[in-house]
Amino acid sequence: MNDHQPGKPLVEVRDAARWFDVSAPWLERVLARKPRTMLRAVDGVSFTINRGETLALVGESGCGKSTIARLLVGLYPLTRGEIQIDGESITELNGPKGPSLRRRLQMIFQDPYASLNPRWRVGRIIAEPLKAHTKMSPAEQDARVDELLKQVGLDPADKSRYPHQFSGGQRQRISIARALAVRPEFLVCDEPTSALDVSVQAQVLNIMKDLQRELGLTYLFISHNLAVVHHVADRVGVMYLGRIVEIAHRDELFKNPRHPYTRMLLSAIPDIEGHGRPRTPVAGEVPNPLNPPSGCTFHPRCPQARPLCKETTPQPVRIGVTEVACHAVEHSWTSESDA
Ligand code: SF4
């Protein structure tokens, strides 16, 4: 799915796919005459992100959003497709241009404690990327660590303490400081606040927004929490079983959701935009991704499903500023029209 924006985007993802081979061991497979089993975690995802913009990807767990985060920073190779950062393919991450490209994109993980070395003092943790990617002297690194700690609202004196001496929110600020050390342009944020108390989440999100304004950062923000997404995103992509089913500007998506799955997700949360939508739980379970339904993979849960939905995968179509992959939207089905 492509969203057309004026100007050259910083991030371009085209038909990205990541399949995992989850087959039984070879001998067992041969004896039982079983074919290989592929988990299509991401299967044909396209989007762009403009400079200074935040694109959020939302969806239930297992929809493929964290796999996309890892594809973007080169932690997984692509099975198919192409990802470019400012015109450079991320396949270059392992080539001669790797170090300079790697500096430009950084990742913030969900669990700050797991991503910080517990045996290192905070100063060493934040200085590590400076050692790896710059020629700064120890004194320059020290000054940069102080600057970064101040930027994320911590005290430079905190650099001599260990991660366990900080709260969850402070640890995530340390992770952000470390990610910013080499002055990246693009941050991939995988559920950066979901391990934090609700009261602390807003503080961390506000720091991220302030830093974005100050430093001109571009974010891909992964979350299952639509309230968080509403707070941070400029545009939102909704994922279901490895595909983006709807992508639109945030306000349009929250005011006028078009895909039945987006409507289902929005109806399960408090009425953020005040449109009076009734609050209803998300119905049904996400199908087994190893055996996805035919056609539109959402059809077993969709109140608008018709026979065509079981047979044919809907392709993305543009309706105003929204791109959506749904036969009902494409063919303007109404509840009264013939199936
Ligand atoms: Fe529902 Fe059919 Fe649209 Fe899929 S294509 S979301 S099953 S109406």
Best mutation site among 264, 282, 326, 337 for ligand 1 pocket (most ligand atoms within 8 Å of CB): 326
In a domain, 259, yes or no: yes
Residue 175 and residue 116 in contact, taking contact as beta carbons nearer than 8 Å: yes
Residue 159 and residue 126 in contact, taking contact as beta carbons nearer than 8 Å: yes
Q: Tell me whether residue 126 is exposed, middle or buried, using C-beta atoms within 10 angstroms of its C-beta: 0 to 12, 13 to 18, 19 or more.
A: buried
The pLDDT score that the predictor gives to residue 271 is: 65
Ligand 1: nearest atom to the Cα of 245 = 6
In a domain, 79, yes or no: no
Is the model more confident about 99 or about 207?
207
In this prediction, what percent of the chain has a pLDDT beyond 90?
Answer: 72
* Residue 3 pLDDT exceeds 70: no
Q: Provide the domain count of the chain.
A: 1
Distance 300 CA to ligand 1 centre (A): 9
The pLDDT score that the predictor gives to residue 146 is: 97
* Residue 4 pLDDT exceeds 70: no
| DSSP bridge partners of 289 | none
pLDDT digits (tens, 9 = 90+) for 117-139: 999 999 999 999 999 989 999 99
* 322, amino acid identity: T
d(CA 335, CA 328): 10
In a domain, 261, yes or no: yes
278 pLDDT tier (thresholds 50, 70, 90): low
5 pLDDT tier (thresholds 50, 70, 90): very low
pTM value surpassing 0.85: yes
Is the model more confident about 221 or about 98?
221
In a domain, 51, yes or no: no
- Give, in order, the Cα–Cα distances in Å from 144 to each of 33, 126, 138, 200, 241: 59, 9, 10, 26, 42
d(CA 219, CA 237): 13
The pLDDT score that the predictor gives to residue 272 is: 64
Ligand 1: nearest atom to the Cα of 304 = 8
How large is the greatest C-alpha to C-alpha distance in the chain, in angstroms?
73
d(CA 40, CA 64): 9
Best mutation site among 299, 310, 329 for ligand 1 pocket (most ligand atoms within 8 Å of CB): 299
pLDDT digits (tens, 9 = 90+) for 148-204: 999 999 999 999 999 999 999 999 999 999 999 999 999 999 999 988 888 899 999
* Residue 338 pLDDT exceeds 60: no
Residue 218 and residue 211 in contact, taking contact as beta carbons nearer than 8 Å: no
Q: Which helix (H) or strand (E) holds 108?
A: strand 105-108
d(CA 221, CA 219): 6
Lowest-confidence segment of 8-17, 143-152, 273-282 by average pLDDT: 273-282
247 pLDDT tier (thresholds 50, 70, 90): very high
Residue 325 belongs to domain spanning: 251-339
In a domain, 72, yes or no: no
Distance 194 CA to ligand 1 centre (A): 30
d(CA 194, CA 273): 22
Best mutation site among 302, 308, 329 for ligand 1 pocket (most ligand atoms within 8 Å of CB): 302
In a domain, 313, yes or no: yes
In a domain, 256, yes or no: yes
Pocket-forming residues, ligand 1, beta carbon under 6 Å: 259-260, 296, 298-299, 302, 304-305, 309, 314, 326-328
Average pLDDT, integer, range 282-309: 91
The pLDDT score that the predictor gives to residue 2 is: 46
Is the model more confident about 308 or about 101?
308
Distance 305 CA to ligand 1 centre (A): 5
In a domain, 275, yes or no: yes
Which of 329, 196, 214, 283 lies closest to 205, judged by CA? 196
